[in-house]
Structure 1
Amino acid sequence: KGVKHTDRSVIASSNGITDGQRTDTSSVLPIPWPLAHIGGVAMLSAALRTGCRLVLFDTWDPAVTPYRMAAHGGTNLGSAMPFFHAYIAAQRAHGNSQLFPNLRGFIAGGAPTPQEVQRELREVFGVNGAVVDAWGMTEFPVATSQSFDDPDVGRSVGPPMPGVQVRIVDGELRLKGPQLFSGYIDESLNTGALDDDGWLCTGDLGSIDDLGHIHIDGRRKDIIIRNAENISAGEVEEVILTHSAVADASVIGLPDSRTGERTCAIVVLAPGSELTLDALSTYCHTAGLARFKCPEQLEFTDTLPRLPMGKVNKAALRERFSPVGGRISPDPS
C-alpha cells in the first residue's frame, strides 16, 4: 500500500529520532534496510536536522554487515530480531573486547522485541544493551519513542512525540498529529483509514500507563479467536522463544472447523535440536500459558519470511500453511 507524505509530515516523523532518541552530531546510525522505507526516510530527515552521520549498506549480510557497521563506529543499532541476532553473534565471535565501543543501545521499530532477546542483548553488551522501542507505521511514522534513560526502557514504546495525540477506542490505538499521511496512492484504500473525527485507525491494540507511555498489546489481525476466546499471538511467541530448541518462531491463527481458529507455531529449530507439538504445548503451559492458548499445530521452516525492517511477514506464513491440515493436539478447552 503506497502512501503519500509531505515535507512537513516527513520532518515530523524524525522527531522520535531527534527528540525521543536524542540524536546529535556525535551519533552514527547504520541503516541495514532500504533507505526508501519510511524508517530510512525518517532517519534521513533526522540527519539533515541534527548533523548525525548515516551509514548506508547496499545489502544485509548477517555474517559480515555487523563488522562493517563496527568499523564506522555505530552508536545506535536497529531494528528487529534478525539484526539483533546478528549483532549478538558478531560480538560473541569477536571476544571480550567491545565490537561497538561507542554503542548507546538498540532501536526497535519493526516489531516488539521479546524479553528473552532483550535479556540476551543486555547480557552480551552490558549496560549498552538496552532496547529503545519506538512505535509507528508507514501512515504515521514514529508516533512514540523511548529514550535510553527512560525508567521503563524496553517495557513500553514510550510517550507520544511532540504534537501527537493518542486515544483508545474499543481497545484500538488511534492517532492524530503532524506526521499523518496524506492518503493512499490507491485512493480506494482511504475509506475507513480515518474515523469520523479524523483519527487514524492503527489496527494496534494497546493501553496508556500513568506516565503517559504507550503499551502495545498486539494487532487486531494478530489476535487468534478460538472458541470466542482472544489469544495474543505475541504472548505465545514470547514463551516459545524461550525454549532452548527454538532459534526463531512466529505464531499465526489458522482456520479450524471445530474452534474457528487454532494457534499454529512456526519454528526455526536451533542447530541439532528436535521438538514435538506435545513437548512444545506442555512447555508453554508449564511456563504459564492457559491451555487454550498453547499451540495446536506445529510447523518447521529454515527461515521466517521477513519484511524490509525485519518484521515477520505473517501474510506469507498464512498463505503457506493455511492449506495444511496440521497436527492437532488433544482438545485443551
Structure 2
Amino acid sequence: MEFDAVLIGPRRAREDTRRGWPERTINDELDACVAECPGKIALTAVQIEDGQTTRFTYAQMAQMADRIAVGLARLGVTQGDVVSMQLPNAWQFTLLYLACSRIGAVLNPLMPIFRERELRFMLNHGGSKVMIVPKRYRGFDYEAMLRALQPEIPSLSHLVVVGATDENGAAPHSFEALLSGPRWETSSDAEAILTRHRPGPDEVTQLLYTSGTTGEPKGVMHTANTLFSNILPYARAMRLGGDDVVLMASPMAHQTGFMYGLMMPIALRASAVLQDVWQPEAALALIARERATFTMASTAFLGDLANAALKTGTQVPSLRTFLCAGAPIPGALAERARGALGAKIVSAWGMTELGAVTLTGLDDDDERAFTTDGAPLPGVEVKVVDENDGALPPNVAGRLFVRACSAFGGYLKRAHLNATDDEGWFDTGDLAHIDERGYIRIRGRSKDVIIRGGENIPVVEIESLLYRHPAIAQVAVVAYADERLGERACAVVVPKAGEAVDLPALVDFLKSHRIAVQYLPERLLVLDAMPSTPAGKVQKFRLRDMLREIDERQC
C-alpha cells in the first residue's frame, strides 16, 4: 500500500525546531521495557463473559509480539501492508499492533459493531491483506460474515479467526495455529524478518476509520511521532508513571483505547488492564482487584460506573482519575461520580485526527470539568474564527481550528479532504468558544455528525439509505439529548403522499442494508414539511429545537 500521508513532510522542519516529535516508535518503547523491567506485569486482559484472565510480563509480551510478527510474515505480510482486525479489548489486539510494528506493517483496527456495509468499504479502501476476527463475540458469528465478504475484497489474502476450532483442536486458519501457537521467533530467519523493515517514526503505523460528513468513512493515517507527541504530554498532565495501572474498557479500536490503553502504558513502563465487554459492576471489581489508578472513557461509562458504585456500595480507593471525553459532562453527574468513586473527574475533548486536544487539569476546580472541555495540551494551539477567518474575542462561538504536533498525516486516498491549510491549521468542523482563561467549550458541530456514547453516527450515509425507502419523500437525521449516551439519533421524515412510516419498519429497512446496529435511529418524527432555507436547505437546528420542545412538554 502506498500511503499518501502528505501532511507529515511539510511539518518536519517546524517540529525539529520545537522538538515536538519524540522520534521514538512503539518498538523503541517495548525494547526499553524489556531492558528495564522484563518481569513486570505489562498486560492483563479479562474476558467478562467467562472470566478468563490472561497476563503478560514485558518479556513475555515482547516474545509473543516477535512470534506473531514472524507468523504474519509467513502469511506474506511485509512493510507497508495493511493488517485489519475486528477484535474487542483482548490481548490479541495489543499484541497484533506490536507485531505489525516489528515488521513495518500498518494496523487497521475496526470496531466490532461494524457489519457488511462498513467493512466492505473499509477493507477495500485500505487494501487489507489480512483480516483477523473472533470466531464469535457477544453472540455474533464474525467468521461467517467475513467468509461471505471475502470474495468482494480482492486484496484480502487471509482470514484469521481467534478461537476457531475443528475436530483436531485449533483449526488451520485459527489465530492460534497461524500466529500465537508455533514458536516462530526461534526459526532461523526470524531475526532477519524482525529487523529488516522496522519502521521509522514518520512512517504510517496506524490506519483508523472515522465517520464524517462526506457520506463514507475516512481513513486517518498516523505515525509514531504524531501519536507519541500527544501521549507523552497527556501522561504528564495526568501525572502518570510506571507505578500506574490503566484500566481500558473503552474500545481500543477507537483512538481513546488505542492511544491511552495500548500505547501509553508501554511508554510509561506501566500496566494495562483490558475489559472486553462493558459491565460497570465488573469494571468496579477489576479496579478493586487490579488496583487501577486511571481510566478514560465516554460520559456514558462514567455515569454507569458511578451508579454501580452507589448501588453496590463498592469502594475503589486506588482510582485517582477518570478522564471523560466524547460528550459534555452534566454537572450533576460529575458531582455524583466524584462522590461515588472518589476520583478526580477530568474533562477532555479530541478527535481521531488529533488525539486529545484539551484537558482540564488535576488542580482545576471540579466545576471546570462540567463547564469547559479543558485547555490545550503542550504542543497544541487552538483558535476560534468567524466565517471570514477573523479571530473572535473570548466567549464568542465560532469555527474551531487546531494546530498540533499530534495532527494526523492525512486521509488515505482523500487528500482533498485533509482540511489543513499551509500553516498547519486543521478545520475541526466544530463550533466552540475560548474563555478568558484559555479553556474551550464545544458549542456544536458544523459537521453533520451525531455522537452516541462516544460513537460517531455517519448521518449522511444513514440519510442516503433512508431516501431509498419507497414511502419517504424527505428525511433528516438529527440528534436529540440523552442523559446516559449524550445523544441519540432521530429520523425526521416527510412521507410521500398517501404513505405512512413507522419506526419499526424504518429500522427493518436499514437493517436489511447490514449497517451497524448503533447507527439505527431510535426515534421517529413525522412532519408534513421540513423547515428549510429559501434555497431549500433543511434547517436541522430547527428540527433539534422541535425535539427539545417536545421533550420539555413531556417532562
Q: State the TM-score, normalizing by the size of structure 1.
A: 0.65
SS at match of 2:487: strand
Q: Report if aligned partners of 2:231, 2:259 keep a CA contact under 8 Å in 1.
A: yes
Task: Tell me the equivalent position of 1:130.
Answer: 344
The percentage of counterpart residues that share the same residue type is: 29
Alignment of 1:154-165 (within 5 A): 154=369, 155-165=371-381
Which among 316, 328, 331 is matched to residue 519 of structure 2? 316
Aligned residues: 256
Task: Tell me the equivalent position of 2:430.
Answer: 204
One-letter code aligned to 2:519? A
Deviations 1:196-243 (A, max 9, x none): 54311111211112222222212224699xxxxxxxx99x83xx74xx
Which among 247, 251, 256 is matched to residue 30 of structure 1? 247
Task: Tell me the equivalent position of 2:86.
Answer: none
Q: Report if aligned partners of 1:3, 1:183 keep a CA contact under 8 Å in 2.
A: yes
Q: How far apart are the structure 2 equivalents of 1:53 and 1:223?
A: 35
Q: How far apart are the structure 2 equivalents of 1:103 and 1:6?
A: 31
Which among 109, 121, 126 is matched to residue 325 of structure 2? 109
Distance apart, 1:33 and its partner CA: 2.4
Task: Tell me the equivalent position of 2:443.
Answer: 217
Which among 392, 401, 405 is matched to residue 178 of structure 1? 405
Unaligned runs of 5+ in 1: 225-232, 242-246, 258-298, 301-312
Distance apart, 1:129 and its partner CA: 4.2
Distance 1:107 1:314, change over 3 A: farther
Task: Tell me the equivalent position of 2:354.
Answer: 140
Confirm whether residue 250 of structure 1 aligns to residue 487 of structure 2. yes
Task: Tell me the equivalent position of 1:120.
Answer: 336
Task: Tell me the equivalent position of 1:166.
Answer: 382
Unaligned runs of 5+ in 2: 1-217, 387-397, 451-477, 495-502, 505-515, 529-545
Alignment of 1:31-70 (within 5 A): 31-43=248-260, 44-70=262-288
Task: Tell me the equivalent position of 1:289.
Answer: none
SS at match of 1:113: coil
Q: How far apart are the structure 1 equivalents of 2:436 and 2:257?
A: 32
Q: Detail structure 1 runs of 4+ shifted over 6 Å in the superposition.
A: 326-330
Q: How far apart are the structure 2 equivalents of 1:182 and 1:17?
A: 20
Q: How far apart are the structure 2 equivalents of 1:207 and 1:253?
A: 27
Distance apart, 1:92 and its partner CA: 2.1
Q: State the TM-score, normalizing by the size of structure 2.
A: 0.41
Q: How far apart are the structure 1 equivalents of 2:244 and 2:301?
A: 19
Deviations 1:245-267 (A, max 9, x none): xx66636676577xxxxxxxxxx
User: Aligned-pair RMSD on alpha carbons?
Assistant: 3.5
Distance apart, 1:130 and its partner CA: 3.4
Distance apart, 1:27 and its partner CA: 2.1
Q: Report if aligned partners of 2:379, 2:405 keep a CA contact under 8 Å in 1.
A: yes
SS at match of 1:64: helix
Distance apart, 1:165 and its partner CA: 1.1
The structure that has the greater radius of gyration is: 2
Deviations 1:168-203 (A, max 9, x none): 122111111111001112x23642522454311111
- My pick for the range that moved more, 207-216 or 131-140, is 207-216
Q: How far apart are the structure 2 equivalents of 1:322 and 1:24?
A: 48
Q: How far apart are the structure 1 equivalents of 2:272 and 2:449?
A: 37
